[in-house]
Chains A and B, each alone.
Chain A
C-alpha cells in the first residue's frame, strides 16, 4: 500500500512550490489513475516518490507498505518496490541495453537479498519480456534508449518494469508517443503485471489509455493537490468537460 499524506514540495532552491498538501492512498492491487492539467505537478509527484533530489519535501510523508520512502536513496526505493516509467526516458550512450538491464536486475536482487541471476536465466527472461512487448532483439544490443523512437523508449520502460517486478509501478504518460497498436501492446503488458499485491499509479491525459488499463480509482490533480477522486467514469466526465471546474476551484 502506498500512502501519501499532506505532501508539500518545492523545487530545490525553494523558489517555487509545486505540491501543496497532497493526499493519496493506493491499496495493494489497486490501479489508480491521475489526470490533471499541464503543470499541475503530476510528474513532480512521480519524481518525489522515486527520490529525485531536485525537489525539497517541506512537509508530509510517503509510506510504502509502512516504510518511509522519503528517508531512502532512489536505489533503495527501487529495491523496496518503487518503479517509475519516465515520461521522457533518458538516452545513455555507451551503456548497452543488455548491460544495463543485467546491472539493474542484479542490483535490485542484491538489495532484496536474492542471488544474482545466471546469464542464461537472465537472457531467457529478457527475451521473453521483449517478445511480448514487440521489442526486436537488435534493439537490446544498442546503447540504452539511444536513437530509439518515442514509442520504443516507452516499451523499453515497460520491459524494465516487467523484469524488475515492482510493488508499485508509476507510469508517467506512458501512452504519449505510442501508436494505436503499441498502446494495446503496452497496455497488455501492464495488465499482465496486475496482481493482488502490485499496484499502479497511471498518469495520463487521455481517457483512451484507461479503456485498456481499466483503473479502480481516478484522481484529479490541480495545483499540486488531489481535488477530486472517483471511479473510472470520472475519466469520461473529464474527457467531456475538461479541467475548467478544477483549475479555478483549487486556487482557493
Chain B
C-alpha cells in the first residue's frame, strides 16, 4: 500500500479549487473527473494527446454577461441562428425556430458519461463538462418536420475563461434538418469543453457541420455523441482551423438497421497547433454503412492525431464500414499520428481502413510550376484540391463555398 498522492498539475489544482464551488447535484460528475484527473499518455485514448502535459492551466468558468465582439464566419448564410454565450443560451441573440423545431434552455443535470444507455462514454472531459455546465440547450425537431434552412448554433466564448456548453438534439422520425455547430471567439488561455448529444429516430435525414474557428491560442475540447434509428442518413462534417490544442471526440452508434453515416473532416493546422480527433463508430445492429474521411494539412510544427475505431457488434452482419485518413505534411517539423482500428465480432462484414501521410507530390508540383505557377501557388492549388475532397461532401452550396474561401485564405496566409 502506498500513501503517496500523485502530484497534481497546475491545471488540475485549478480545476480542483473551482470544483469546490460546483452545485451539490453536480458533485457526482465532478467526482468522476477527480477519480482519474486529467488523462495522460498512458491512458490509451489519450496517448497522443496528453492533457496532463498539454493543458498548462485551467481558467475559471465564465461569469454571465460576456459580450460578443466577433461576427460569425457564416454571418452571410441564410440560417436560423441560436446563440450560446460562454456556454449559456442567450435568447436575446437568438431567432425563433420555424414550425416543427423548438428550443429550450434549462439548468438540468446532463449525462457525465456514466449513463450506460446514454450517447457518451466514461471520459474525464465529458465529466468535467457535466460538472461545470449550468445551461443545457435542448433542441427538438418534431417527427416529419423538414427544416429547410440550416440551424446555426453559435457557441461563442468571449474571453480567457472556461465555457462548458451542452447541447442536446432530438430528431423525430421522418424529420430532416441541418445543424451547424460553430465554435467561435475565445482568446489565449480560453478553455472550451463542449458536449453535443444527438438522438435521431427512424427515417431521418440529418446534416451536421461542426466548425472550430476559435482563437489559435485557445484550448478546445469537444465531444459529439450520436445515435440513429433505422433507415436514416447522417452526414457529419468537421472543419477545424482553430485552437492551439484541440480534441474532438465522436461516439456514434447505429441503433436501427439499414442506416448510413458519413463523417468527414478537414483540418488545417499550422504553427504549434495540436488537433486530435478520436472517433468510435459502433455498428450495434446489422446492415448499416459508415464512411469516414479525414483530411489533414499540417504546416510548421503542428501535430495532427486521428484515432478511428469501427466496432462491429456480434450479429451486426452486413456491416459496411470504411475509414480513410489522409494527411499532407508540409514541413519536417509537423507530425501526423494515425491510429485506425477495427473491432469486428461478426463474420459477414465488409470493413476497411487506410491511412496515408506524405508530402505534396514533387512531380505534380513540377508539372504545375512548368506551366508558370510559382511554388506557393502550385502548392496552394494542390492543397485546395486535397481539402476540397473533404469539403465537397457538404451539400449546402453557400456553406461549402464559404469554407472553400476560408481554406483559400488560410493557404494565402501561408505563402504571404
User: Which A residues contact B (CB, under 8 angstroms)?
Assistant: 50-54, 73-75, 77-79, 82-84, 86, 89-90, 92-95, 99-100, 103-105, 107-108, 111, 143, 160, 164
Q: Shortest distance in angstroms between B270's beta carbon and chain A's nearest beta carbon?
A: 21
- When the two chains form their complex, are residues A107 and B386 in contact, meaning their CB atoms are under 8 A apart? no
> Which residues on the B side are within 8 Å of A92 (C-beta)?
364, 367-368, 382, 385
Q: Shortest distance in angstroms between A205's beta carbon and chain B's nearest beta carbon?
A: 22
Q: Shortest distance in angstroms between A235's beta carbon and chain B's nearest beta carbon?
A: 27
> Which residues on the B side are within 8 Å of A52 (C-beta)?
366, 370
**Given A95-B385, A107-B372, A74 and B377 touching (CB < 8 A)?**
no
> Which residues on the B side are within 8 Å of A78 (C-beta)?
369-372
**Given A95-B381, A95-B385, A90 and B364 touching (CB < 8 A)?**
yes
Beyond the given A74-B369, A74-B370, A75-B369, please list 6 additional residue pairs across the A-B interface where CB-CB is below 8 A.
A52-B366, A53-B366, A73-B375, A75-B375, A82-B370, A103-B381
> Which residues on the A side are within 8 Å of B389 (C-beta)?
93-94
> Which residues on the B side are within 8 Å of A51 (C-beta)?
366, 369-370
Q: Please measure, in the bound complex, the distance between the C-alpha atom of A89 and the C-alpha atom of B363, giving whole angstroms.
A: 10
> Which residues on the A side are within 8 Å of B372 (C-beta)?
75, 78-79, 104-105, 107-108, 111, 164
> Which residues on the A side are within 8 Å of B373 (C-beta)?
75, 103-104, 107
3 nearest A-B pairs in the assembled complex, by CB-CB distance:
A94-B385, A108-B372, A78-B372
B340: Cβ under 8 A from any A Cβ: no
Q: Please measure, in the bound complex, the distance between the C-alpha atom of A54 and the C-alpha atom of B362, giving whole angstroms.
A: 10
B374: Cβ under 8 A from any A Cβ: yes
| Interface size band for B | 20 to 34
> Which residues on the A side are within 8 Å of B367 (C-beta)?
86, 89-90, 92
Q: Shortest distance in angstroms between A47's beta carbon and chain B's nearest beta carbon?
A: 8
B388: Cβ under 8 A from any A Cβ: yes
Smallest CB gap from A86: residue in B:
B367
Q: Shortest distance in angstroms between B267's beta carbon and chain A's nearest beta carbon?
A: 17
A-B contact count (CB 8 A): 77
Partner of A100, one of B370, B381, B388: B381
**Given A75-B375, A107-B377, A160-B371, A93 and B385 touching (CB < 8 A)?**
yes
Q: Shortest distance in angstroms between B231's beta carbon and chain A's nearest beta carbon?
A: 32
Give per-residue flags for B384-402: 1 if the beta carbon is below 8 A from chain A beta carbons, else 0: 1110110000000000000
Q: Shortest distance in angstroms between B393's beta carbon and chain A's nearest beta carbon?
A: 13
Q: Shortest distance in angstroms between B332's beta carbon and chain A's nearest beta carbon?
A: 18
> Which residues on the B side are within 8 Å of A108 (C-beta)?
371-372
Q: Please measure, in the bound complex, the distance between the C-alpha atom of A78 and the C-alpha atom of B367, giving whole angstroms.
A: 11
Q: Please measure, in the bound complex, the distance between the C-alpha atom of A79 and the C-alpha atom of B367, giving whole angstroms.
A: 14
Q: Please measure, in the bound complex, the distance between the C-alpha atom of A95 and the C-alpha atom of B308, giving whole angstroms.
A: 28
> Which residues on the A side are within 8 Å of B374 (C-beta)?
73, 75, 107
Q: Which of B369, B374, B375, B384 has the most CB of A within 10 A?
A: B369
Q: Shortest distance in angstroms between B390's beta carbon and chain A's nearest beta carbon?
A: 11
Q: Please measure, in the bound complex, the distance between the C-alpha atom of A94 and the C-alpha atom of B361, giving whole angstroms.
A: 14
Q: Shortest distance in angstroms between B138's beta carbon and chain A's nearest beta carbon?
A: 40
**5 sample A-B contacts, Cβ–Cβ < 8 Å, listed by A number:** A52-B370, A54-B362, A75-B373, A78-B369, A86-B367
Q: Please measure, in the bound complex, the distance between the C-alpha atom of A125 and the C-alpha atom of B362, giving whole angstroms.
A: 30
> Which residues on the B side are within 8 Å of A94 (C-beta)?
384-386, 388-389
> Which residues on the B side are within 8 Å of A90 (C-beta)?
363-364, 367
